[in-house]
Amino acid sequence: MRDGGRRSAGGWGLDRRATFRFLYFPPILWLGIFFLLPLVLMLAFSFRANMSGELFQLWTPTFSQYAQLIKAGSYWRLLGISALMALGVATAAVILSYPIAYFLAFRAGERAALYLVLLLVPFWTSYLLRVMAWKLMLGTEGVINSFLLYVGWIQEPLTALLYNRNAVMLTLIYVWIPFVTLPILAALQRIDPSLFEAAADLGARPFYQFTRITLPLSLPGVFAAFFMVFIPTVGEYVTPLLVGGSSGSMYGNIIQDFFTKAANWPLGSALSMIMLVAALIFVYIATRIIDLRALFE
């Protein structure tokens, strides 16, 4: 604070404007250069015919990549399969987490905070290693096979456990459960307890209270949890790489291939654009259904 007492209203208006510029330009430039510009470049690359010539040069825009994508049904099928997998993963994670969130919100009592931390610990363990751990669980010499052999239920190790889409989905559900509980819990905690008292006074049974009060009021949290899993899961490429094998790959894996092994950036960019647009449309629809802002209060 400078001495000299009060200054005119115009005076602090000026500092406020100077401060505005100081606050405004760094984030807008950072996001512009490192978030918006890369996506625009990717869009531009998706209209490029091939990789010949310099990376940074003018090219005649062509729809050939998109034409190729539309013709080849396999990409759409894989996008569809990835979306279905994400749908399954998100649904399963939400259904499995809901009772946990309910327990933490209404039944855990004083220990709720401790139980919550206990639930979140796995989420703060190395992601790659948690996926690796599932390889150790499902592999031919893994925990499940060793156990079943030991008990004598099987004579030969089961090979069908690992390296397929089911293994990918199982691992992803496992990875997401702690994370999914949070928005559902937040929604449940926001329910006004006097609603339950009123319902009980009016003679509503616990089950009726659940279906008429708890469930409807927690739906924003449920939807939010669903979307928070669905979007990253559609774009997943790491988990399939580790536990999916050749038959468990997802849409993200072909994008990865086109940018690494195949080195076909234009086609990879077109594939990425399709995924980005799909994600944006999906989120737009989601924000029509739920008010996402309510989650972060």
CB of 146 to another protein, least distance (A): 4
Please say which residue, 55 or 160, places its beta carbon nearer to another protein.
55
Please say which residue, 3 or 156, places its beta carbon nearer to another protein.
3
Please say which residue, 36 or 72, places its beta carbon nearer to another protein.
36
CB of 69 to another protein, least distance (A): 15
Please say which residue, 73 or 206, places its beta carbon nearer to another protein.
206
CB of 102 to another protein, least distance (A): 7
CB of 237 to another protein, least distance (A): 5
CB of 155 to another protein, least distance (A): 17
CA-based radius of gyration for the chain: 26
Cα gap 239→68, rounded to integer Å: 28
CB of 38 to another protein, least distance (A): 4
CB of 166 to another protein, least distance (A): 16
Please say which residue, 19 or 247, places its beta carbon nearer to another protein.
19
Per the structure block, which two tokens stand in for 285? Answer: 């629809």
CB of 74 to another protein, least distance (A): 18
CA angle 295, 115, 210 (to 5 degrees): 55
Classify each residue of 214-248 as buried b or exposed e, where b means 16 or more C-beta atoms within 10 Å of its C-beta.
Answer: beeebebbbbbbbbbbbbbbbbbbebbbbbbeeeb
Please say which residue, 78 or 276, places its beta carbon nearer to another protein.
276
Please say which residue, 117 or 154, places its beta carbon nearer to another protein.
117
Please say which residue, 217 or 283, places its beta carbon nearer to another protein.
283
Question: Would you give the distance in Å from CA 217 to the centre of its chain?
Answer: 23
